[in-house]
Amino acid sequence: MKVTLSKYAGFCDGVERAYEIVKEIAKKPDIKRPIFILGSLVHNEDVVESIEKMGIGKIDFDGKVEEITKKIDKKIGTLVITAHGIGPKIFEIARKKGVDIVDTTCPKVIKVQRLAQAFFGRNHQVIIIGEEKHKEVQGIHRWARRKSFIVSSKEDIMGLELDISRPITVISQTTQNRDWVEEMAEAISKKYPQAEIIDTVCSTTRDRQSEAKELARSNDLVLVIGSPASSNSNRLWEISKDINRKTYFIERLEDIKEEWLGNCEKIGITAGASSPRWVIREVVEYLKKV
**Binders of ligand SF4 in range 181-220 (CB under 6 A):** 202, 204-205
**Binders of ligand SF4 in range 145-184 (CB under 6 A):** 174-175
Smallest distance from ligand SF4 to CB 39, Å = 14
Can you name the residues that pair with 57 across neighbouring β-strands?
36
Euclidean distance between CA atoms 127 and 150, whole angstroms: 6
**Judged by CB, which is closer to ligand SF4: 56, or 106?**
106
Helices (H), 97-134: 107-121
Reference 10, options 44, 38, 39; nearest CA is 44
User: According to CB under 6 A, which one of 3, 12, 181, 223 is a site residue for ligand SF4?
Assistant: 12
Q: Is 214 assigned a catalytic role?
A: no
Smallest distance from ligand SF4 to CB 147, Å = 23
User: According to CB under 6 A, which one of 216, 273, 279, 283 is a site residue for ligand SF4?
Assistant: 273
Q: Is 105 in the site for ligand SF4 (CB under 6 A)?
A: no
Cα dihedral across residues 151, 156, 158, 160: positive or negative:
negative
Euclidean distance between CA atoms 94 and 75, whole angstroms: 12
Reference 179, options 140, 212, 222, 224; nearest CA is 212
User: According to CB under 6 A, which one of 13, 132, 220, 282 is a site residue for ligand SF4?
Assistant: 13
**Judged by CB, which is closer to ligand SF4: 76, or 144?**
144
Q: Is 227 in the site for ligand SF4 (CB under 6 A)?
A: no
- The continuous run of DSSP H or E covering 171 comes out as strand 168-172
List strands edge to edge, sheet with 247-250.
Answer: 2-5, 266-271, 221-225, 247-250
Q: Is 274 in the site for ligand SF4 (CB under 6 A)?
A: no
Query: Are the C-beta atoms of residues 278 and 16 closer than 8 Å to each other?
Result: no
Active-site option among 16, 131, 136, 259: 136
How many residues touch ligand SF4 under the rule CB under 6 A: the total is 15
Chain positions contacting ligand SF4, by CB under 6 A: 12-15, 83, 106, 108-109, 174-175, 202, 204-205, 232, 273
Q: Catalytic residues, which ones?
A: 136
